Amino acid sequence: MEEAIRRAWWKEAVVYQIYPRSFQDTNGDGVGDLPGVIRRLDYVKELGADVIWLNPIYRSPNDDNGYDISDYRAIMEEFGTMADFDVLLREAHARGIRIVMDLVVNHTSDEHPWFVESRKSKDNPYRDYYIWREGKNGAEPNNWGGSFSGSAWQLDEVTGMYYLHLFSKKQPDLNWENPKVRREVYDLMRFWLDKGIDGFRMDVINFISKTADFPDGETNGGLYGDFGPFCINGPRIHEFLHEMNREALAPYDVMTVGEMPGATPEQAALYTGFDREELNMIFQFEHVGLDGGEYGKWSLNRVPLRALKETLSKWQTELDGRGWNSLYWNNHDQPRVVSRFGDDSTPLFREKSAKMLGTLLHMLQGTPYIYQGEELGMTNVAFPSIDDYRDIETLNAYREFTERRGVAPDEMLAYIHKNSRDNARTPMQWDDSPNAGFTTGTPWIAVNPAYREINAKAALADPNSVFYYYKKLIALRREYPIIVYGHYRLLLPDDDRVYAYERSLNGEKLLVVCSFSREAIPFPLPVPEGAELLLGNYEGESGDLRPFEARVYRYRE
């Protein structure tokens, strides 16, 4: 009997992520804008992605590039106007492209009117919109550190109490225990849904429910305690998400993806379970945490291939039939995939490993996300000085590690070259003109000097480019439901150079073989009889698996 599949448009979609600040500037102020996104819609269309996820475009003082929102119903001045947004939505829809917005509601900006009120007095009607505590023995209420270095608490002089901020001190955490806060959030969601947007990517949404008491956390050799066990996947999280679904999302045909550091597959099955009415999918973090070290993300470690296989395979098999995976290698918070998991040391290795990694990810079960420039094989940047960096996480960590933890500045800069979020935030490389065609002004962050070789204009002129390979990956997904829905089985789990797996659906099969080796190696598996080569990143077939080669075979059992 044919196995029935639960089809949904958001399972079959391919999402293209746009970081508007770094995508396309149209007015020469050095900052990307909404008219810039509109100008490049045809580029996204050409690639074949059918959903765009926009990083936050709301009004914001930009302490954390828009993740600190001061007005959820207004557009950031640097990005344009609400009229620009309306045009963008219309023009995207006219091309069959859906628009997903970033929803940042674990915290607001400290310049949001709710917080401006909240801090005024202990009995202000907005006091309870945020998380206020008395100090302990003249210091912070507990030892928690924030995600951007320093304490997670800030003393506010006006009332002499502390407020919680899991990110920067300009990002106070909302108090989700307060039903008024939840109503405000559902209201603002409906405001955008009624405009016709197609979904939300929800920022650190598994941080919104905190435990009732606030005990110290483990310091694990660092300066501060870990808030994780008390704030991540907290006690009321499923209740809140279910309520949000019922109150805001249910009437609309939209997609949702929750950003969830620290989520396990078991939890993901609850968050994304088909009948649970919470979210469609989540962004998990396990595979992007595999190269962490003594100082967390600030490390020079490479991701061990076997660990990568183990992690991705666990997510593939544990969510199969129970929930849904999102598939991503990189985004605005992660270094560039080709530099991190591939090899950008020569033009050939860069091209081959970028295509190989694209193959590996796009042939998995789930909804793939492409981060702007990934389709060009854009690489990490290594700015010579800390003064060239703009990211608050990077700048704060540099200060904390060099001033308080005894790390030498050069060592810290090496970590930053490898893992800073600014690797992803340098301007999109459109062509080889000054500033890569991103702006006619001075860009808010410098362009990666690699733009002379790696840019969209060159890629579009070269039929062999990473761009056209990604286009093929997307087109294949449209053509073969097995790519979206097939079951997954890891092959060769102990091989240190090859990631191979099989997909299967109703008697049809795919064999995916990806090499992580810089040398040619013998092809590690028998090619099944009658198999057709669906895709490869080299010309034709060979008895060897060539450096960073990827092949996808299709056959019937």
Asked if 497 and 356 count as a contact pair (C-beta separation under 8 A), the reply is no
CB of 98 to ligand NOJ, least distance (A): 20
Between 67 and 130, name the residue whose CB sits nearer to ligand NOJ.
67
Q: 3-38 burial, b for 16+ CB within 10 Å, e for fewer?
A: eeeeeeebbebbbbbbbbbbbbbbeeebbbbbbbbb
Between 156 and 259, name the residue whose CB sits nearer to ligand NOJ.
259
Rg value, the chain, Cα: 23
Distance, in Å, from the CA atom of 379 to the CA atom of 372, rounded to the nearest integer, reads 12
Question: Which amino acid would we find at residue 99?
Answer: I
CB of 127 to ligand NOJ, least distance (A): 23
Between 40 and 421, name the residue whose CB sits nearer to ligand NOJ.
421
What is the x/- site pattern for ligand NOJ, positions 101-130, by CB under 6 A? ---x--------------------------
Between 108 and 435, name the residue whose CB sits nearer to ligand NOJ.
108
From the list 203, 343, 374, 422, which residue makes contact with ligand NOJ (rule: CB under 6 A)? Answer: 203
Name the β-bridge partners of 370.
16
CB of 231 to ligand NOJ, least distance (A): 13
How far apart, in Å, do the first and last CA atoms of the chain sit?
15
CB of 134 to ligand NOJ, least distance (A): 26
Between 104 and 185, name the residue whose CB sits nearer to ligand NOJ.
104
Query: CA dihedral defined by 30, 35, 39, 42, rounded to 10 degrees?
Result: 120
CB of 259 to ligand NOJ, least distance (A): 6
CB of 67 to ligand NOJ, least distance (A): 3
Between 166 and 363, name the residue whose CB sits nearer to ligand NOJ.
166
Q: What are the distances in angstroms from CA 372 to CA 35, 53, 282, 392, 435?
A: 16, 10, 20, 21, 16
3-state secondary structure of 162: strand
Should residue 474 be labelled a site residue for ligand NOJ when binding is judged by CB under 6 A? no
Should residue 343 be labelled a site residue for ligand NOJ when binding is judged by CB under 6 A? no
Between 278 and 333, name the residue whose CB sits nearer to ligand NOJ.
333
Should residue 50 be labelled a site residue for ligand NOJ when binding is judged by CB under 6 A? no
Closest chain position to ligand NOJ (CB): 67
Between 285 and 538, name the residue whose CB sits nearer to ligand NOJ.
285
From the list 50, 64, 198, 400, which residue makes contact with ligand NOJ (rule: CB under 6 A)? Answer: 64
203, 278, 343, 502: the catalytic one is 203
- CA proximity to 192, closest of 100, 295, 64, 122: 100
Should residue 333 be labelled a site residue for ligand NOJ when binding is judged by CB under 6 A? yes
Residue 463, both tokens = 């039929």
CB of 495 to ligand NOJ, least distance (A): 33
Secondary structure (DSSP) of 78-123: GG--HHHHHHHHHHHHHTT-EEEEEE--SB--TTSHHHHHHTT-TT
25, 259, 351, 391: the catalytic one is 259
Q: 133-164 burial, b for 16+ CB within 10 Å, e for fewer?
A: eeeeeeebbbbbbbbbbbbbbbebeebebbbb
Residues 349 to 378: which contact ligand NOJ by CB under 6 A?
none
Q: What are the distances in angstroms from CA 517 to CA 368, 378, 535?
A: 24, 20, 19
3-state secondary structure of 302: coil
Residues 248 to 277: which contact ligand NOJ by CB under 6 A?
259
3-state secondary structure of 156: strand
479 is catalytic: no
Look up residue 248 and give its DSSP letter: I
From the list 10, 53, 58, 67, which residue makes contact with ligand NOJ (rule: CB under 6 A)? Answer: 67
What is the x/- site pattern for ligand NOJ, positions 153-182, by CB under 6 A? --------------x---------------
CB of 174 to ligand NOJ, least distance (A): 12
Query: CA dihedral defined by 224, 410, 342, 305, rounded to 10 degrees?
Result: -50
Residue 381, both tokens = 């940047």
Between 171 and 316, name the residue whose CB sits nearer to ligand NOJ.
171
Should residue 204 be labelled a site residue for ligand NOJ when binding is judged by CB under 6 A? yes
Asked if 43 and 49 count as a contact pair (C-beta separation under 8 A), the reply is no
343 is catalytic: no
What is the x/- site pattern for ligand NOJ, positions 403-442, by CB under 6 A? ----------------------------------------
Give the binding site for ligand NOJ (CB under 6 A).
64, 67, 104, 167, 203-204, 259, 332-333
Active-site residue list: 203, 259
